Amino acid sequence: MRFTKMHGLGNDYVYVNCFTEQVLDPQDVARRVSSRHFSIGSDGLILIMPTDHADVRMRMFNADGSESEMCGNGVRCVAKYSYDHQLTEGRVPSQPVCERLLRSALPEAEAIREMTVETGNGVLTLGMAISNGKVQQVCVDMGEPILTPGEIPVRVEGDTAISTPIAIEGYDLQMTCVSMGNPHAVFYCLDVEALDLERLGAAIEMNEIFPQRVNVHFVQVLSKNEVIMRTWERGSGITLACGTGASAVCVAGVLTNNNDRQVLIHLPGGDLQLLWNQDDNHVYMVGPATEVYHGQY
């Protein structure tokens, strides 16, 4: 199996071009290739596949073999791979918000192109800033956040889960739950480095109020437009970045009055720019995608 190792801010996956390769048991392959000490090492496996509904289709599997609906860092890498390896030529942008954000992120860009990716959360539109013939920055229209508890899903009373109390590992916490096609629980604290993320993240992920488990994010507010976040990803554990999680943090910050609609988020692997656009209620995410190496497994 030929593969490409890529990462978005250190959130790394093994990518397989299924236009030319075949993966018969992706759950098993994901577990095998993700082992940090005995294999390639990654947060999971992402398949880039043909589809009739978009330029390409993405299937994403966590390190434990479970399949997830979407991965924000992963889908940026799918866009870079697809353009850089001629799976798509891209199109003239139809998203003025993405084009504006990309030109701000990479003023020297030679061109801005657009493509679509089919995911478990539907078909997403991505803008790509091109420099030296390669994709350098990607803007993802992450769509509208889901705030209804039954659709996230989370078992709580009420129409939303905003600053909802929860007791975990002896701590009385407040969580704000958002789905960006996959479930997220956001918590605010004074110092994200001081908390025991491994213990708290694992306990929250598996709590019975989350029927499909949950991605866990702790956030430290620096200002109305700047925060720091750390992540425990469902099925993968502590990761250096989470794109859907950063999108959820952007939304949660507005709902809890912790930040404005446009926010710079510092993750262990680097920075993401997020905008919860008031005009269309969509969340837009801008960040890099990096190709590390190719190999054969």
Give the separation between CA 291 and CA 154, rounded to whole angstroms: 36
Shared-domain flag, residues 9 and 135: yes
C-alpha closest to that of 216 among 192, 247, 238, 193? 238
The predicted pLDDT at position 200 comes to 96
Residues 128 and 6 occupy one common structural domain: yes
Any catalytic annotation for residue 250?
no
**60 plus 174 within the same structural domain:** no
From CA 22, how far away is CA 47, in angstroms rounded?
Answer: 9
Q: Are residues 279 and 243 in the same domain?
A: yes
Q: Domain check: are 121 and 180 in the same one?
A: no
Q: Given the residues 77, 139, 242, 250, select the one marked as catalytic.
A: 242
pLDDT at 213: 97
Catalytic residue, candidates 71, 98, 139, 177: 71
Q: In this predicted structure, what is the pLDDT of residue 95?
A: 85
- Same domain (yes/no): 127, 256: no
Closest of 141, 102, 103 to residue 123, by C-alpha: 141
Domain count, the chain: 2
Is 242 catalytic? The answer is: yes
The terminus-to-terminus CA distance of the chain in angstroms comes to 5
Residue segments in the chain with a per-residue pLDDT below the cut of 50: none
Q: Are residues 8 and 129 in the same domain?
A: yes
- How far is Cα 63 from Cα 249, in angstroms, rounded to an integer? 23
CATH classification of the domain holding 236: 3.10.310.10
Closest to 271 in 3D by CA, of 228, 223, 238: 228
Residues 118, 202 within the same domain: no
The identity of residue 195, as a single letter, is: L
Instruction: Show the CA angle centred on residue 198, arms to residues 262 and 47, nearest 5°.
Output: 65
- Cα 92 from chain centroid (whole Å): 25
Residues 233 and 193 in one domain: yes
Rounded CA separation 81/292 (Å): 11
Identify whether residues 40 and 113 lie together within a single domain: yes
CA distances to 141, 143, 178, 267 from 281, in Å: 11, 8, 14, 24
- Whole-angstrom distance, CA of residue 108 vs CA of residue 257: 35
Q: What is the pLDDT of residue 184?
A: 98
Residue 202 phi/psi, 5-degree rounding, is -65, -40
Q: Specify whether 122 is located in the same domain as 199.
A: no
The encoded tokens of residue 168 equal: 């975990």
Judgement on whether residues 169 and 127 belong to the same structural domain of the protein: no
Domain of 215 in residue numbering reads as 149-283
